[in-house]
Amino acid sequence: MNRSQARLRPGDLVEVKAPDEILRTLDAQGALDRLPFMPEMVEFCGRRFRVARRVVKTCFTGTVSTMRVFESDDVVTLEGLRCSGAAHDGCQKACTIFWREEWLSKVDDAGGSSTPRSDGASLRSRLKISAGPTTYYCQASELWNATKGLSRWARIGKCVAEVRAGNCSALHMVRRIAIWFFWRVRRTLVGEYARGPHQVTPVESLDLRPGELVEVKPMESIIQTLNETARNRGLYFSPDMRRLCNSQRRVKERIDKLIVDGSGQMRQLRNTVFLEGSLCRCESIALGGCSRDEFVYWREIWLRRK
């Protein structure tokens, strides 16, 4: 597939190319245009999936939180595919996987069968998983290098591009922009929405397990766990998260360690979980939102068992 002709759209059916085909696209680092093909992706070779979104822009949450864009407009996400972290010391970040279009083939026959797969041994041997004794090499670690920054005007243009790419309707984008504008003005006038009273924030351990039913505490209780920047031990309680207050959710996973965007370092977490159906769209903090669909992190002190 010629990269200049590849224009996949949400809903398109694609097949992940065979390991040998993908191997031919990679450099010595196991990457294409600085975006790594990770060992966790090999199992999907030869299988068929629907395109979820074109990656018009993506959030970056390393030493700074900002929006970035891939220099070549050839990256998509596929429905339901996240990194297992199995090859990266069990990282639990569960990142949505980015796919270069050159790694995919568009197929028209939804009823067709997938291509038989090889074991991918040659491909796996090329793929890099560490950048040093204490740093990992993956799509999260290389996200800064594989993308570039956006000017203020470029961010506005990307809102239009999201609609043209089929990621959302014009009405949905107008709603996203309105949400961002409201919270931007509010932060400017009165500060963070969930400013708390603490300099040193409190800790609570529930030892929650996947499948347990929990209730998100009322906003008034959560504020009492935060500092003046709406954080509990560095973890931000975003305005979007308030919508789950007083609602019930099941715990999807505990999260004890994750690889940090940009640095490649493994960070340890405590008393933190993912909740089912709780995904970040960045609408309140990034103009036009983001397609990365990262899980929202919940401190156990913000929850109670049911």
Q: Are the CB atoms for 56 and 158 separated by under 8 Å?
A: yes
Supply 135's token pair: 């740093």
- Is residue 259 classed exposed, middle or buried when 0-12, 13-18 and 19+ CB atoms within 10 A define those classes? buried
pLDDT at 111 over 80: no
Task: Tell me what the mean pLDDT of segment 82-107 comes to.
Answer: 97
pLDDT at 98 over 90: yes
What are the two backbone dihedrals, phi and then psi, of residue 85, each rounded to the nearest 5 degrees? Answer: 75, 5
Q: Are the CB atoms for 5 and 74 separated by under 8 Å?
A: no
Determine the Cα angle at 236 with ends 230 and 238, to 5°: 80
Task: Tell me what the mean pLDDT of segment 14-27 comes to.
Answer: 97
Supply 295's token pair: 């899980």
pLDDT, residue 4, reads 41
Q: Which helix (H) or strand (E) holds 175?
A: helix 170-190
First to last CA, the chain: 52
Task: Tell me what the mean pLDDT of segment 56-80 comes to.
Answer: 92
pTM of the shown model:
0.92
Task: Report the distance separating Cα 220 and Cα 103, nearest Å.
Answer: 48
Amino acid of residue 286: A
pLDDT at 142 over 90: yes
Picking from 129, 123, 132, the residue whose alpha carbon sits closest to that of residue 26 is 123
CA 233 to chain centre: 21
pLDDT 10s digits, 196-221? 999 999 999 999 999 999 999 999 99
pLDDT, residue 105, reads 96
Q: What is the DSSP string of 259-272?
A: EPTTT-BEEE--SE
Q: Are the CB atoms for 53 and 12 separated by under 8 Å?
A: no
Alpha-carbon distances of 288 from 29, 164, 167, 281, rounded to whole Å: 33, 13, 11, 9
pLDDT 10s digits, 232-272? 999 999 999 999 999 999 999 999 999 999 999 999 999 99
Task: Report the distance separating Cα 300 and Cα 207, nearest Å.
Answer: 8
pLDDT at 112 over 90: no
pLDDT, residue 3, reads 47
